[in-house]
Structure 1
Amino acid sequence: MARLTTTLLLATALAATAACSKKRPEVLPPAPGEAPAATPAPGAPPTDGVAPGSAADFRRSITSDTVNFGLDQADVDATARTILDSQAEWLQRYPNVRIQLEGHADERGTREYNLALGDRRANAAKNYLAAKGIAASRITTISYGKERPLALGSDEESWAQNRRAVTVAVTN
Structure 2
Amino acid sequence: MPTARRSQLARAVVLATVAGLSLGACRKKPAPAPTPVETPTTTTQPRVNQDSIDAENRRRAEEEERRRREAAALESARATLNAPVYFDYDAADLRDDARAVLEAKLPILTANAGLRIRIAGHTDSRGSDEYNLALGQRRASAVKDWLSGRGIAADRMEIVSFGEERGSCADEEEGCWSRNRRAEFEVTAGGDRITAPTGGQ
Q: Which has the higher helix share?
A: 2
Contact 1:130–1:136 (Cα < 8 Å) also in 2: yes
**1:64 shift after superposition:** 5.9
Pick closer, same or farther for the CA change 1:134–1:94 going to 2, 3 Å. Answer: same
**1:41 shift after superposition:** 5.1
Q: CA-atom RMSD, angstroms?
A: 2.4
**1:78 shift after superposition:** 1.0
1:73, 1:115 → 2: CA distance?
Answer: 13
Q: Which residue of 1 aligns with 2:110?
A: 92
Q: Which residue of 1 aligns with 2:128?
A: 110
Contact 2:82–2:186 (Cα < 8 Å) also in 1: no
Q: Which residue of 1 aligns with 2:87?
A: 69
2:182, 2:149 → 1: CA distance?
Answer: 20
Which segments of 5 or more consecutive residues in structure 2 lack a partner in the other structure? 1-58, 191-201
Q: Given the alignment of the two structures, is residue 165 of structure 1 paired with residue 186 of structure 2, yes or no?
A: no
Q: Which residue of 1 aligns with 2:148?
A: 130
Contact 1:65–1:168 (Cα < 8 Å) also in 2: no
Contact 2:86–2:181 (Cα < 8 Å) also in 1: yes
Which segments of 5 or more consecutive residues in structure 1 lack a partner in the other structure? 1-39
Structure with larger Rg? 2
Residue 170 of structure 1 aligns to a residue whose secondary structure is strand
Deviations 1:5-41 (A, max 9, x none): xxxxxxxxxxxxxxxxxxxxxxxxxxxxxxxxxxx95
Which of these residues, 15, 27, 47, is aligned with residue 68 of structure 2?
A: 47
Between the two proteins, what is the percent identity of the paired residues?
35
Pick closer, same or farther for the CA change 1:91–1:63 going to 2, 3 Å. Answer: closer
Contact 1:107–1:146 (Cα < 8 Å) also in 2: yes
Residue 157 of structure 1 aligns to a residue whose secondary structure is helix
Q: Which amino acid aligns with 1:100?
A: R
**1:88 shift after superposition:** 1.4
1:154, 1:66 → 2: CA distance?
Answer: 21
Which stretches of structure 1, 4 residues or more, deviate above 4 A after TM superposition? 48-53
2:72, 2:148 → 1: CA distance?
Answer: 25
Deviations 1:66-107 (A, max 9, x none): 100000000011111100011112100111000000000000
Pick closer, same or farther for the CA change 1:50–1:102 going to 2, 3 Å. Answer: farther
2:81, 2:186 → 1: CA distance?
Answer: 13
1:151, 1:122 → 2: CA distance?
Answer: 20
- Please report the TM-score for the alignment, with normalisation by the length of structure 1: 0.68
Aligned length: 130
Residue 143 of structure 1 aligns to a residue whose secondary structure is strand
Which of these residues, 135, 146, 157, is aligned with residue 139 of structure 1?
A: 157
Contact 1:58–1:169 (Cα < 8 Å) also in 2: no
